[in-house]
Amino acid sequence: MGNSNHLKGVFAAVVTPLNPDLSPDLDGLITLLQFLAKRGCHGILLMGTTGEGPSFSISERLSVYQAAIYARQNLPGLSFLAGTGTPSLEDTVFLTRAVFDLGYDGVVVLPPYYFRKVTDEGLFSWFSQVLKKSVPLDGAVLGYHIPPVTGVGFSLDLISKLKDSYPNQFIGIKDSSGDPEWAQSLGARFGKDLMVFNGNDRLFSLALKSKAYGCITAMANLISPLHRIVWDNFQAGIIDEITQEKLSGAREVFDRYPPMPPLIKLMLSRMHSFPTWSVKPPLLDFNPVLLDSVLSEFLAEVE
């Protein structure tokens, strides 16, 4: 797995702070990364689903990648991943190469999500081009499995073929399917030979029991200390059902008010005194009239 063995633990799928003109708020991003590093996160993922990655231009994404890596010099020990997947092969290659040139620990790559009835053979060809053209021989690539959003997912056979063909580069999966059977099947098929990062808080403990390396989750923006408790206890041989129930309850609250980025941004403002950051269209800001009741629901689960 090249130099990727340090990739494990609790990763926050970071929201992207925005200025009033909807451009990335890079100073706000640096402040948020410092906050997350102090809250028990082992790493962060930029420009994923929670970060609204597909809503940003190539130049905007580059500005976010560059600002974050500049901040990294003051964040020792924090691992950095970046979402680089787009429907365009060449744009994905360009972004992926740029991220590795900046010194990131790895990338998380969505499958091309416009043509939804493509075959495993077609997806293997697409990922092969990305891996050959933009990933160093020891560069870490995680496939991003989130079929409820993309409509395109990874089969176990596709993962196996990519892993066998590019063993030092295609090292894992971010599993945001929310499917407990899929989480267990990844562990049964690959064990510790595949780096699986769980993307659904309800399944964190189950994923760890199924040999997952950690989680990459939106909720870690708000409650990463709870994720860290589950992680630390699991490393000590303890299945922490009480804290896992808190994570599950918190996730169930958020699942009632999709999509997540608007609510997470508003909750960051209310719970942790961040600015009230907007979201990029086509997402809309969360209705502030609902916030008090949602916050009460949320706190009842996590406290």
Pairing verdict, β 79-83 and 214-217: unpaired
Structural domain includes residue 299: no
The answer to whether residues 275 and 258 touch, using CB atoms and an 8 Å cutoff, is no
81 backbone dihedrals φ, ψ, rounded to 5°: -120, 155
Look up 114 and say whether it is catalytic.
yes
The answer to whether residues 71 and 33 touch, using CB atoms and an 8 Å cutoff, is yes
Give the CATH number for residue 143: 3.20.20.70
Cα(284)–Cα(169) distance, integer angstroms: 37
- Identify which of 64, 132, 119, 37 has the alpha carbon closest to the alpha carbon of residue 93: 132
Q: Is the pLDDT of residue 2 over 80?
A: no
pLDDT, one tens digit per residue, over 230-245 is 999 999 999 999 999 9
| Mean pLDDT to the nearest integer, 277-287 | 97
| Domain span at 148 | 9-239
Look up 213 and say whether it is catalytic.
no
124 backbone dihedrals φ, ψ, rounded to 5°: -60, -40
pLDDT, one tens digit per residue, over 33-61 is 999 999 999 999 999 999 999 999 999 99
pLDDT, one tens digit per residue, over 97-108 is 999 999 999 999
Catalytic residue among 65, 104, 113, 144: 144
pLDDT, one tens digit per residue, over 126-159 is 999 999 999 999 999 999 999 999 999 999 999 9
Structural domain includes residue 218: yes
Structural domain includes residue 266: no
How much is the pLDDT for 5? 72
Structural domain includes residue 271: no
Q: Is the pLDDT of residue 160 over 50?
A: yes
Q: Is the pLDDT of residue 3 over 60?
A: no
How much is the pLDDT for 52? 98
- H or E, element range at 129: helix 120-134
How much is the pLDDT for 4? 72
Q: Is the pLDDT of residue 115 over 90?
A: yes
Structural domain includes residue 286: no
How much is the pLDDT for 55? 97
Structural domain includes residue 289: no
Catalytic residue among 70, 114, 132, 276: 114
Number of domains comprising the chain: 1
pLDDT, one tens digit per residue, over 9-35 is 999 999 999 999 999 999 999 999 999
Structural domain includes residue 250: no
pTM score of the predicted model: 0.96
Structural domain includes residue 252: no
Catalytic residue among 161, 174, 246, 265: 174
